[in-house]
Amino acid sequence: MIRTSSRPLAALLCGLTLPVLVAAPASAQTMNNGAMTNPKMMAAMNEAGALQTLAATESRRPAYSPLTGVKFKPSDNVFLKSALDINLTYRAAFVTLPLFRGLSPQGQPVFYIITEASDFDVAQKMGLNYSPKMRFAVGAGAQQVTLNGGAMRFRGNVNFTPEHLVVPGSPTAPFPPRIARPGAIGDAEWSSMVVLPSGVVLNVQMMHNATGTHDRVKSIDLEKRTVSISLLDGFQGGKQLFYHLVTDVSEALPAALENGVHTPRLAKVPAIGQSLPSQPSALLGFSPVLNGIIDTKTNEDQGFAASIANGGIDPINVFPLGPSNDDRSAGNNYSPLWDAHVNMWTADAVRTGKVRRITSFEDLQSLVKDGHVTSAMINPPGAGNAFVAGLRPTRAIINCPVIAHPTGPDVKNN
């Protein structure tokens, strides 16, 4: 559902007639390590303040701060503090986020979300996930933007007009699909890795523009500047409900399977197969399953084959870690740019009935060691990644900002 406004377009897009609800200027901010003195940091905080001020003016909603942010239940374990609402219903979860207005390369209004920042203080100020690894995205895989009065002007854009379509290969062998078409495609300049003039990198995803709306949007309100987006399930540390978004993907097939924007420019972000914080990589390895159990009645369904066979249900991928937003150290290894290392159950494991859900990286390591799971046949030849149980990279980057990992007594853990 898309809501527009009966107010004049100038008021909707420019906020000139609305009361100004400003974010605190950078000069009033203090850092964890004392008052700001670094000119680059001052510039970054001024940029963050400008983004927040424009959004607050146009939405009539106060800019995020620890005082104005939504107070979620501790058991919801929401990482993204700027979230406005979250619904944790199993198989139907979604999150509501603030929308920001920007400009396309042609100067048309576009609407986007922000989920991560490469700078700790910017992330804290805006209620974003902190991902220091994203600083390595600067270069051919990112897009440089300009800011004018808090309006971000992009160099690239997204085409939302294609029809998303996935057709199973066959009832008994749904993967590979017979047809797999992404529902949106980024142009040659589009990347969700956005570099501000200060050099800070933000994870930004287009939600709506003149061509349409992101396929994972459940509802969008351009007047109130809110968007509700479906969440995907996953496993991390032996616990399910590792809720995350899928925004865009570097390759067409996984973009179609995960219902994200196909963004070829993301493929240029370094470095495939490098996941350690000591490596110059913006990526973090994770492991989707290729050929898990398909039958959802077993409560053991998992993987791309299960997703395709059941109308696009969550593949329930396996992740190594979540955001650590209070850790400003160089060892903070979180990134929303997930480097796929697709695994598959061996023929012998399938024949002997050993197939089940894989629930953690430790579980994956054990299964690989025992010879039950190996690199998927779709993974190109090459070296394995010790961080991901020695599996070979698939050479696909999936942008999956992590939103929440609920821990309450009613949480579903299989």
Give 175-225 pLDDT, tens digit per residue.
Answer: 999 999 999 999 999 999 999 999 999 999 999 999 999 999 999 999 999
Q: What is the pLDDT of residues 72-113, one digit of tens each?
A: 999 999 999 999 999 999 999 999 999 999 999 999 999 999
pLDDT for 166 beyond 90: yes
Which is more confident, 411 or 388?
388
Q: Could you tell me the pLDDT band of residue 256, with boundaries at 50, 70 and 90?
A: very high
Q: What is the pLDDT of residues 104-151, one digit of tens each?
A: 999 999 999 999 999 999 999 999 999 999 999 999 999 999 999 999
CA 384/CA 283 separation, integer angstroms: 15
Q: What is the pLDDT of residues 370-381, one digit of tens each?
A: 999 999 999 999
Predicted local distance difference test score (pLDDT) of residue 124 = 98
pLDDT for 362 beyond 80: yes
Q: What is the pLDDT of residues 22-46, one digit of tens each?
A: 444 443 333 343 334 589 999 999 9
φ, ψ dihedrals at 296, nearest 5°: -70, -20
Q: Could you tell me the pLDDT band of residue 330, with boundaries at 50, 70 and 90?
A: confident
Collapse the DSSP code of 271 into the 3-class scheme (helix H, G, I; strand E, B; otherwise coil) and give the result: coil
Q: Could you tell me the pLDDT band of residue 412, with boundaries at 50, 70 and 90?
A: low
Residue with tokens 């029809």: 163
Q: Are 267 and 141 in contact (CB under 8 A)?
A: yes
Residue 207's closest CA among 187, 181, 226, 233? 226
Q: If 0-12 CB within 10 Å is exposed, 13-18 middle and 19+ buried, where does residue 169 land?
A: middle
Give how far Cα 325 sits from Cα of 63, 126, 166, 289, Å.
Answer: 19, 12, 36, 28
Predicted local distance difference test score (pLDDT) of residue 8 = 35
CA 334/CA 401 separation, integer angstroms: 10
Q: Mean pLDDT over all residues of the chain?
A: 92
DSSP conformational letter for 387: G
CA 412/CA 414 separation, integer angstroms: 7
Q: What is the pLDDT of residues 258-275, one digit of tens each?
A: 999 999 999 999 999 999
CA 326/CA 410 separation, integer angstroms: 26
Q: What is the mean pLDDT of residues 4-33?
A: 39
Predicted local distance difference test score (pLDDT) of residue 1 = 57
Q: In percent, how much of the chain has pLDDT > 70? A: 89
Cis peptide before 176 (omega within 30 of 0): yes
Give how far Cα 121 sits from Cα of 31, 41, 109, 117, 267, Å.
Answer: 7, 9, 28, 9, 28
Predicted local distance difference test score (pLDDT) of residue 10 = 35
Structure tokens at 409: 């007594």
For residue 256, what is the enclosing H or E element? helix 252-258
Q: Which residues pair with 244 in a beta bridge?
A: 232, 402
Contacting residues for 366 by C-beta, under 8 A, at least 6 apart:
none
Domain positions in the chain: 39-404
Predicted local distance difference test score (pLDDT) of residue 126 = 98
pLDDT for 167 beyond 90: yes
One-letter amino acid for residue 289 of the chain: V
DSSP state letters, 80-136: -TT--EEE--TTS-EEEEE-EEEE-TTS-EEEEEEEEESSHHHHHHHT-EE-GGGGG
